[in-house]
Structure 1
């Protein structure tokens, strides 16, 4: 995700908790279809961690788990759909949706991409790496990020915001590494699969503002779950 838009998005998120909670609840519901016990369901465990990091109320979290597991209000019928395309100035974008109506989502995405270019599957994703991304903080002063990365099986690591460390993994290693990190002094705050651009585009001024407005509009759509963009920080 382009760092500048990501930071701006985080500031906006502070004023729109409701939208964030809705997206997190959908993720929890979809994950809980494979079981309501986070100890036995890695995807659900990751979704719960993300919800707790965002300070989702406990009753909202528990209701989403029960609803997803079919213990409340009938079954959940969200489907995952991924779209690829370009923002203005040929900035590559991958959009992940969770929707109960694929036709509605497709129509919304087509409308949102009018100022950019909607592309076919594979037209953009080839230029992104699909990785596991773990955000963690040291639990003690003597925690060694390099040692933790090597011992836990991470592929790479980098400094995050504040004292946070971002550990990168192969997609299949995400759960194993997130479980191992606490043994080496790191408290995991989130663990998820992401796309990272290989060749991010550098923009500034009006061009950057135009792309940010485009991305904000996509992210605000109710069916959109995640937006990944090849925009340099």
Structure 2
């Protein structure tokens, strides 16, 4: 939970998938501004992989690439904006937006943070690390997570259930490490830049009512159309 917030409660799965595809298409369009060839554009390659993992229709993905590259419907004018602040009970939050109207986004974020506290730039991010995160699984029984991390150039790693692993890298090394991991027995399923909290608030210190308030706050932010990613300093 301390990396990227993921909503637990989605009543309408179809609507949720549509919203996810919209956000992934934005990522693809913005990345494609630097070139439509994923072999020459690492950001686009990672955005395409994330979209395919989410089962985005091929036609939707191809249209997003063409639109971002300026080959369809004119140029894409999305701005990347980061907001910082606190959810209820002083839980730190970083919100990343991609928007074609920054005034609309600013107004929406101000309203959403009324139940928390919107901070200035740097008010929260100082207590997060900007890292690359790679989700991977072992391709064979002999795969060694520690050796793979060392050899591929990862900064750190976490072992998950059934051998699944999360590798952390310097932001500039994300693509290189993701490409190297298969050589050392791991199949990469996702690679992205994240904010990882240094000192997350423990869920054990919050009452059930307080935790519900935090989750409701985060879900409301995540549902905003301009919000791409929500990172929260909260740990199980």
Q: Does residue 1:95 correspond to 2:95, yes or no?
A: yes
Aligned residue for 1:178?
178
Q: Does residue 1:78 correspond to 2:78, yes or no?
A: yes
Q: 1:228 aligns with which of 226, 231, 234?
A: 231
- Worse-matched range after superposition: 139-148 or 176-185: 139-148
Separation (CA, whole Å) in 2 of partners of 1:153 and 1:10: 33
Separation (CA, whole Å) in 2 of partners of 1:31 and 1:146: 31
| Number of residues of Structure 1 aligned to a counterpart in Structure 2 | 231
Separation (CA, whole Å) in 2 of partners of 1:132 and 1:51: 18
Separation (CA, whole Å) in 2 of partners of 1:13 and 1:3: 23
Listed as ranges, the gaps of 5+ residues in structure 2 are: none
Aligned residue for 2:19?
19
Runs of 4+ in structure 1 displaced over 2 angstroms? 1-6, 10-14, 159-164
* Match runs of 1:27-176 below 5 Å: 27-160=27-160, 163-176=163-176
CA-to-aligned-CA distance 1:100-141 (integer Å, 9 cap, x gap) = 000000000000000000000000000001110001111222
Give the deviation of 1:204 after TM superposition: 3.5
Give the deviation of 1:4 after TM superposition: 11
Separation (CA, whole Å) in 2 of partners of 1:37 and 1:4: 28
| Residues 4 and 118 of structure 1: CA distance in aligned 2, closer, same or farther (over 3 Å) | closer
Aligned residue for 1:209?
212
Q: Alignment partner of 2:151: what SS?
A: helix
CA-to-aligned-CA distance 1:77-119 (integer Å, 9 cap, x gap) = 0000000000000000000000000000000000000000000
- Using the size of structure 2 for normalisation, the TM-score is 0.93
| Residues 95 and 13 of structure 1: CA distance in aligned 2, closer, same or farther (over 3 Å) | farther
- Using the size of structure 1 for normalisation, the TM-score is 0.95
CA-to-aligned-CA distance 1:122-175 (integer Å, 9 cap, x gap) = 000000011100011112222111111010000111124654210001111111
Cα RMSD after superposing both structures: 1.7
Q: Alignment partner of 1:199: what SS?
A: coil
